[in-house]
Amino acid sequence: MHDTAVLAEAARRAVLLASGVCREIQLAQGAVRQVTKDDKSPVTVADYASQAIVARELRERFGDVALVAEEDTDFLRQDEHKAHLQAVLEAVRTVWEDCTEDELLETIDIGNGRADDSGFWTLDPIDGTKGFLRGQQYAVSLAFIESGVPVAGAMGCPNLPRDFSDPLDEPDPRGSLYYAVLGEGVYETTCDDSNERPVKLTRLPSDKDTLSVCASVERAHSSTDDMDRVLDMVSQKNIEIAPPARLDSQAKYAVVARGQADAYMRLPTKKSYVEKIWDHAAGALVAIEAGCIVSDIRGHGLDFSHGVGLSENKGIICAAPHCHAMLVGAIKSLKIGV
């Protein structure tokens, strides 16, 4: 067994550093595009820089680590992408001052580790690509998996306001960061201050006569037609459906965890699609530790023990206790995902 408190603190530190670098890259998108001649390069640079920073922090803390992450260095090693490599190196040097090209590439490739039953980290260095490029919501998401279950992790949401009255489609200058330990709760701080006193996050009971959901801005990520069908069935139980809050990335888990929405549904768009572990591990842990229920659309718990994919699960439901069973029941009645 691992010391989950130590793991969570390491995750918090790594995600905080990576989030700061990603924020600066997002703010300087025009300059990055000018150097690399590529409209999508800001998120490309942020992905690699974030992964390098997190991998280095974990290695400095624990030595050899098993890290399963989204990126590898094949792209950066190509001569035609030399400008991207230099942009990543420049970004990483704001935290790791003497980093060399070889050290950068080697560190990013730490993320090519294997999912090990004895425990491994999984990282999405930038979750919410389109949100990042729009200057809106994205997340840096890191979790430690033990025996198929996330037991510690952190999720940085550099643009997510902590004040519910602030709009979700505009970047907040301080952002929000969440870190959690299985069975011991989840804590919230801003995303720009390593010394800020954390606040324990517990989702308060909601009005059972209303239901608010959060959904992706990028509608291709989940079946919006099926979501509308589910909500229509729920509304027939004399439950008022609020307009959805739209934002990208695992930040949606945080929005549900803190009670700003009641549910997040990721309904399959293709029968063959398998969710990736790094897209859900940290967010699911945050929501569960706040008091929410996270399952697949059949009500089964998420199983992170099958490599990089949640191959034993179909879709995702993250919801407050008062509405989780109702949503799963509506999905079953409508035969969604069958």
Active site residues: 47, 129
- The helix (run of H) or strand (run of E) holding residue 152 is strand 149-157
- The helix (run of H) or strand (run of E) holding residue 282 is helix 281-290
Strand order through the sheet with 199-201: 67-69, 120-127, 139-146, 149-157, 176-181, 185-189, 199-201
Long-range contacts of 77-80 (CB under 8 A, 24+ apart): 77/105
**Cβ contact 2:119 at 8 Å:** yes
Hunting for tokens 């922090």 — which residue is that?
57
Residue 165 makes CB contacts below 8 A (sequence gap 6+) with none
Task: Give me the count of residues in the chain.
Answer: 338
Q: Which two tokens stand for residue 319?
A: 């919801």
**Residue 181 to residues 3, 59, 321, 338, Cα–Cα distance (Å):** 10, 20, 20, 34
Residue 168 makes CB contacts below 8 A (sequence gap 6+) with 136, 137, 160, 161, 245, 246, 247, 255
Strand pairing category for 316-319 and 293-295: antiparallel
